[in-house]
Chains A and B, each alone.
Chain A
Amino acid sequence: GDSVTQMEGPVTLSEEAFLTINCTYTATGYPSLFWYVQYPGEGLQLLLKATKADDKGSNKGFEATYRKETTSFHLEKGSVQVSDSAVYFCALNLPGGTASKLTFGTGTRLQVTL
């Protein structure tokens, strides 16, 4: 079935370091891909999305490119801040359906220290 695989966390970085969180997916079609972020005690916030191959989503300095050939959607940021500490979820919508049925990865916790 459709699935999303994320790198295990926690990822611990110093402020201003470069961030990569790997995400790969398995799907029977061409899904839309999303990154959501969850801060402690809160719900999920959409960080960025991409709806077709080679699309690049970007927001708040974060970027991810939809790579159909490697079925990947890795999240990157050039310089992380302490305020970026959170759990990051990669997700896809089921192809051929609606965006209402998201399949999530297990989440990657990011800790940024001074």
Chain B
Amino acid sequence: KAGVTQTPRYLIKTRGQQVTLSCSPISGHRSVSWYQQTPGQGLQFLFEYFSETQRNKGNFPGRFSGRQFSNSRSEMNVSTLELGDSALYLCASSLYQAKEETQYFGPGTRLLVL
């Protein structure tokens, strides 16, 4: 079974631009979560989608948004990019059939904002 895939793997943008990242979960997984990883802040939860609905949200500004499609694929969007948005963005998927359901991560998209 294929793992979580993320596209693109690398991205360079300039301040003020917007960016869209894509995540395809493991087949059959309905929950998709997004995390931001930076050297200074570590791994931080952005949001989680389940059945096309945002179910949880972390403490990020409204410039960060996401959505999920009927096939469970998810996208996240960052508008008006800032230098501090440079990070590795990780997507994770899970079945969500039990409270302790395990999350499986993709390879990430590395975003550099200049």
Contact = CB atoms under 8 A, between A and B. Distances in A.
B11 interface: no
Given A104-B42, A104-B43, A43 B105 contact: yes
A100 B42 contact: no
Contacts of B107: 42-43
B88 to A, nearest CB: 8
A36 B105 contact: yes
B26 to A, nearest CB: 12
A32 interface: yes
B103 A100 contact: yes
Chain B's interface size range is 20 to 34
B60 interface: no
A46 B31 contact: no
A89 interface: yes
Pick the most buried of A100, A103, A105: most chain B CB atoms within 10 A of its CB.
Answer: A100
B68 interface: no
B53 to A, nearest CB: 12
B91 to A, nearest CB: 8
Contacts of B96: 98-100
B99 A98 contact: yes
A100 B56 contact: yes
Interface string B90-114: 1010101001111111111000000
Interface string B33-53: 101000000110100101000
A59 B104 CA distance: 16
B15 interface: no
13 contacts: A32-B99, A34-B102, A44-B92, A46-B102, A46-B104, A46-B105, A97-B56, A98-B55, A99-B99, A100-B48, A101-B56, A101-B58, A106-B42
